[in-house]
Structure 1
Amino acid sequence: MNWIILVIAGLFEVAFTSCLGKAKTTTGNEAYWWYAAFALTCGTSMFLLIKSTETLPLGTAYAVWTGIGAVGTVLMGIFFFHDPATFWRMFFIATLIMSIVGLKLVSAH
């Protein structure tokens, strides 16, 4: 169950970085709404990360959380913010995904 919580925490990390990206491109009240969404998703992500570390090792949980956030944020950048999708970026995203899966496979929990 804590692995599921950890994955959800990682998805909320993607959400809070995406909110930050949207807030940078807007002005006025719309920007404040994006910053509010950033604060809410950031807090939720941190809370879920803390919950997942009740049984998962902290180092493993943190590495997986940041990995999910990194992969998700890069993919959000490619699909929604027009970041480049070069061969080397995709290659290293794939190695990061393999590392996250590998940490799950070798974890005792």
Structure 2
Amino acid sequence: NDNYYLLTLAAIAEEIKHRKAERKTEVILAVGLPLSSFGREKQGFREYLLRKEQPARFLYESELYEITIKDVKLFPQGYSALALHPEYLKNEPSVLLVDIGGWTVDLMRLDNAVPNAATC
């Protein structure tokens, strides 16, 4: 259904409000998928967010927005935490990233800061 898409548009509107930016804009989304489904769902999820009906025009809290989603970058959930803290990977030959969700626990080993897909 469109719940996630609508929540994404609301989050974009909130970010625009916070930055006091123009309500007519282009964005690039960076989104995470559970590691266990990343490989098989990433293309479909990318297409779900990167819709042909662009720009998206919508009202949010009585303000009109016109958003063009230019691109969608997909990452395994949890990986963004390491991207924010590259010092955790510095001088570490191997790091185990553990993403604990509501119903899942995903493990990803990074060797010399590079995800090792064979160990996920």
TM-score (norm 2): 0.30
Q: Higher relative CO (CA 8 A, sep ≥ 6), structure 1 or 2?
A: 1
Would you tell me which structure has more helix in proportion to its own residues?
Answer: 1
TM-score (norm 1): 0.32
Q: Whose radius of gyration is greater, 1 or 2?
A: 2
